[in-house]
Amino acid sequence: MSKLWGGRFNSTTNSDLNKLNCSLPVDSRLFAEDIDGSKAYAKILKEAGVLTPTECNDIQKGLELVRYEWIEKLIKLQDTDEDVHTVNERRLIEIIGNVGEKLHTGRSRNDQVITDMKLWMKKAVSEIKLNLKLCMGAQIEIADLNDEVLMPGYTHLQRAQPIKFSHFILSHAFALHEDCLRLVDYEKRSDILPLGSGALAGNPFNIDRNLLATYLGFTKITQNSMHAVGDRDFIVEFIFILNMIGIHLSRLAEDLILYATKEFNFVRISDEYSTGSSLMPQKRNPDSLELVRGLSGKIFASLSGLMMIIKGTPSTYNKDLQMDKSFVFDGFDYLKSSLNVITGVLKTLKINKECMLNCLSSDMLATDLAYYLVRNGTPFRTAHHTVGQVVAYAETLNTDLEKLNMEDLSKIGDFRSDVRKVFDYNASVEQYDVVGGTSSSSIRKQIEYLKEFLKNF
């Protein structure tokens, strides 16, 4: 069979170009979306009087037979097939005859492929949302079960202030919460049908594009055909959101990798998500989390690669855009794997609360000492400087803050006998009873907020 566009050419295409031009190894993934779009387009052609009801019915049945061949892996490809669109059209014509040649009336692969991508991405967003819900659900469950566990909080990887372990794990859940909001916003703004734009000038057969949008589950239609066929912003934005999720998973992975070391020993990653060393028998390596961390880089490569391709393309469709699909498919697959793995790690994670508690030290209550002075009327900057002197003095004695005697403390600042109540880690944590704080009541509100959010997400 000759190529769909071969009528004006007098010689065959160079074999190297044929290989480069063929996108089937990648875009065959769109076979179902391409068939769905074609079935809807056939109905619109019938409404416009281009197809008779019988012809439309024959096309509908023929396309379902093509779908069956794809699903059952019965489809046979030919050298003249360039992409999933040409395969589906060729098989349709082979199954129902010349009436199949009418299906492409007024339609171009330019508006066909971008419609297929939008249909595929609707499903992809739904899958990512489901995986995010599972991952966040695992984080919420950990926070729920460990709401009394204290641990050191860190800035600059240095011990900073006591916090609840639940507060730590929920901080990562709220990062994913932001990604959920991005996906919700993305769904609304990308819900625009490009089909009916033709190659670049539009469709001359008086089709009802709004009805076509309804058939395919879109709420809006594109308003400029030239922009529609060349637009890949929605793909860039989708991969950007995948990147943000990947970055957040990578940061969670890094925290857990650190906390699983012997030096921290705050958590233990299950054997199911650990590997060993080919040389050192004692090793339990967090390869699952390291791979998640690494995959975030590959997702970023998908984003940067696509942006480099589209930055120099002139108006409307250009063949460079054929390469967009490999980037979006790769980014999606990498992220889905990452979400599945990290959710499994979280569900099997063991918490070492005793070790976390033992790593709390009184120097982490230095800020509480400053707040003690503030509550007694000292300006915060003065209190901060005073407690800094207390810390320095304790270091000269090589002792903990709580072991300093009242005589030494009172010489440095306005410390009274009740200052001893400051050295209570639970009291320290509970004072942060503000929305977003690390107190027990605040954490309960965070958990309830996220649970309610996921119910409606």
DSSP labels, 91-159: HHHHHH-GGGGGTTTT--HHHHHHHHHHHHHHHHHHHHHHHHHHHHHHHHHHHHHTTT-EEEEEETTEE
pLDDT at 320: 87
Distance CA 192, CA 119 (A): 10
| 323 HSE (CA, 13 A, CB side) | 14
**pLDDT at residue 119 above 60?**
yes
Average pLDDT, the chain: 94
pLDDT at 19: 72
Distance CA 187, CA 190 (A): 5
Name which of 342, 345, 343, 309 is nearest 327 in CA terms.
Answer: 309
pLDDT at 21: 66
Q: What percent of the chain lies above the pLDDT cut of 90?
A: 89
Pairing state between β 220-221 and 267-268: unpaired
**pLDDT at residue 2 above 60?**
no
> Model pTM?
0.93
Confidence label for 308 from pLDDT (cuts 50, 70 and 90): very high
Name which of 288, 267, 258 is nearest 276 in CA terms.
Answer: 288
Of the candidates 277, 304, 315, 441, the residue annotated as catalytic is 277
pLDDT at 12: 72
277 catalytic per annotation: yes
pLDDT at 80: 84
Q: What percent of the chain lies above the pLDDT cut of 70?
A: 96
Top-confidence range, 10-14, 76-80, 349-353: 349-353
Distance CA 185, CA 236 (A): 15
Range of weakest confidence among 73-82, 148-157, 159-168: 73-82
pLDDT at 342: 98
Which residues are 164's β-sheet partners? 150
**pLDDT at residue 16 above 70?**
no
pLDDT at 253: 98
* Backbone Cα Rg of the chain: 30
| Main-chain phi, psi angles of 155, to 5 degrees | -130, 145
Distance CA 234, CA 125 (A): 12
Range of weakest confidence among 77-86, 328-337, 349-358: 77-86
Q: What average pLDDT does this structure show over 164-187?
A: 98
Distance CA 115, CA 35 (A): 11
pLDDT at 280: 92
Q: What average pLDDT does this structure show over 202-231?
A: 97
Sequence-distant (6+) residues with CB within 8 A of 258 are: 264
Token readout for 154 is: 């860190």
**pLDDT at residue 13 above 80?**
no
Range of weakest confidence among 133-147, 183-197, 309-323: 309-323
Start-to-end Cα distance in the chain: 49
What are 184-212's pLDDT values in tens digits? 999 999 999 999 999 999 999 999 999 99
Confidence label for 60 from pLDDT (cuts 50, 70 and 90): very high
Inter-residue contact 350 to 270 (CB < 8 Å): yes
Which residues are 285's β-sheet partners? 275
Of the candidates 11, 15, 156, 278, the residue annotated as catalytic is 156
Confidence label for 17 from pLDDT (cuts 50, 70 and 90): low
Pairing state between β 150-155 and 158-164: antiparallel
Confidence label for 421 from pLDDT (cuts 50, 70 and 90): very high
Name which of 109, 20, 36 is nearest 316 in CA terms.
Answer: 109
For residues 204, 205, 209, 213, the Cα torsion angle rounded to the nearest 10 degrees is -120
Distances (CA, A) of 365 to 55, 115, 163: 79, 59, 11
Q: What average pLDDT does this structure show over 271-299?
A: 94
Confidence label for 10 from pLDDT (cuts 50, 70 and 90): low
Inter-residue contact 415 to 405 (CB < 8 Å): no
Domains and CATH numbers, the chain: 6-102 (1.10.275.10), 109-200+222-358 (1.20.200.10), 362-439 (1.10.40.30)
177 catalytic per annotation: no
Distance CA 62, CA 39 (A): 10
- Name the maximum alpha-carbon separation found in the chain: 101
